[in-house]
Chains A and B, each alone.
Chain A
Amino acid sequence: DQQVKQNSPSLSVQEGRISILNCDYTNSMFDYFLWYKKYPAEGPTFLISISSIKDKNEDGRFTVFLNKSAKHLSLHIVPSQPGDSAVYFCAAMYNQGGKLIFGQGTELSVKP
């Protein structure tokens, strides 16, 4: 039972363009969502998060959008840079319980 899904295993984008990574969830109890970035042979690093009471959160080049009615969130990276090439995981949690439910990940490749 995959409660958090990233249906695109990979995405290729030209440098300077927008990258859009998508994530769907099934559990309406989730109230907090996070995005992590992972380089090979390193642990994931926290990127950006959003509470379910908001529909948008922005941090520099990174913006996360949440559509609760569609149970969908997306991460926008503008402009994309080659250093953004990594695997991106979305994650969800509820009740401050501490447990994160992760998606399968999307590998982003930004080409110069």
Chain B
Amino acid sequence: DVKVTQSSRYLVKRTGEKVFLECVQDMDHENMFWYRQDPGLGLRLIYFSYDVKMKEKGDIPEGYSVSREKKERFSLILESASTNQTSMYLCASRGMGEGRREQYFGPGTRLTVT
């Protein structure tokens, strides 16, 4: 079974703080993704990575950055947290060359910025 873990289930931060969200997968997957989920908006892609040290902007990258120094780990960074970044953050991974295209998700981090 694929396992995707996220460092925190719940997080409360103050406006202006730098926030790190960590994601680790144990299936040697090449692709990793960060989404945020908001009511009525579904899941929106923030950043993704096809391989180590590679990153691509998703649909809503403003205010975020990412880091992928090791294949199994993909970090999302909020440079200066703002209240409109209060959301559920979901990490996902996907292997290549399997003929199947589903992504596997972690349990999510509920971030509140006050």
Q: Which residues of A contact B (CB under 8 A)?
A: 4, 6, 9, 32, 34, 36, 41-46, 49, 89, 91, 93, 96, 98-100, 102-105
Contact = CB atoms under 8 A, between A and B. Distances in A.
- In the A-B complex, list the 4 residue pairs whose CB atoms are closest, starting with the nearest: A43-B105, A46-B102, A102-B43, A102-B42
A98 B78 CA distance: 24
B57 to A, nearest CB: 11
B107 A42 contact: yes
22 contacts: A34-B102, A41-B107, A41-B108, A43-B4, A43-B90, A43-B106, A43-B108, A44-B43, A46-B102, A46-B103, A49-B100, A49-B101, A49-B102, A93-B101, A98-B48, A98-B50, A98-B101, A98-B103, A102-B43, A103-B42, A104-B41, A104-B42
A43 B109 CA distance: 9
Contacts of B35: 102
Interface of B: 4, 9, 31, 33, 35, 40-45, 48, 50, 58, 90, 92, 94, 100-108, 110
